[in-house]
Chains A and B, each alone.
Chain A
Amino acid sequence: AQSVTQPDIHITVSEGASLELRCNYSYGATPYLFWYVQSPGQGLQLLLKYFSGDTLVQGIKGFEAEFKRSQSSFNLRKPSVHWSDAAEYFCAYDSWGKLQFGAGTQVVVTP
């Protein structure tokens, strides 16, 4: 069955340190992949997306993600985390026009 997995439920990172959030997908064809961020009590904001082409995708707020077909992964990275990056992050793929979300990763940023 098609699915997207975020192995890490919770990640704690120090401010200024690098961050990597993992996302693995199970999908026959090349999927349309997305990363969203959700602040508490808020809707979702699109960070970046991958449809095709360059496998390294740049997004907003200094985030980037790399699509690796061989590993079925689409990991999100940021070189230096800011306290405002504390939020819930969701990986998702488009399945016939519907988004399938991973379980999410809660990011906590410590001083």
Chain B
Amino acid sequence: GAVVSQHPSWVICKSGTSVKIECRSLDFQATTMFWYRQFPKQSLMLMATSNEGSKATYEQGVEKDKFLINHASLTLSTLTVTSAHPEDSSFYICSARESYEQYFGPGTRLTVT
């Protein structure tokens, strides 16, 4: 149980375009999901907290207009990177919260050319 999926697992896009990443909790309902960013050989950095039916809460320094988060249902949260630039290239990981635990997706590798 407690499986979280992400789609796509990797994506390459051109600079200036937008890309959407999906995060799904497959066997449980998650009122809260989280989005993280991880640079090579570094730890996870929390970007935002996604709450079903309400606006996401962004961490300090994260541009909310660039990283659009939508949590339209109890099993799906999406992260859209708008007007992507090469510096947005990174590994994006989502997690879904159940009780006091977070279950992580496999991550999405974004490369912006």
Contact = CB atoms under 8 A, between A and B. Distances in A.
Interface residues of B, number: 23
Contacts of A94: 100
A32 to B, nearest CB: 6
Interface string A13-36: 000000000000000000010101
Interface in B23-39: 32, 34
Nearest to A10: B41
B8 to A, nearest CB: 13
Contacts of A51: 100
A49 B101 contact: yes
Contact of B43 (A43, A97, A98, A102): A102
A68 to B, nearest CB: 21
A43 B106 CA distance: 4
Contact of B97 (A36, A42, A97, A103): A97
B49 interface: yes
Interface of A, secondary structure class, is strand
A90 B43 contact: yes
A50 to B, nearest CB: 11
Given A42-B107, A43-B104, A44-B104, A98 B44 contact: no
Nearest to B44: A101
A41 interface: yes
A11 interface: no
Interface string A39-71: 001111110010100000000000000000000
Given A97-B32, A98-B49, A43 B100 contact: no
B46 A43 contact: no
Interface of A: 32, 34, 36, 41-46, 49, 51, 90, 94, 97-99, 101-104, 106
16 contacts: A32-B100, A36-B104, A41-B107, A43-B6, A43-B104, A43-B106, A43-B107, A44-B104, A49-B101, A90-B44, A98-B46, A99-B46, A99-B95, A101-B43, A103-B43, A106-B41
Q: Report, nearest first, the 4 A-B pairs whose CB atoms are least far apart.
A: A43-B104, A44-B104, A43-B106, A101-B43
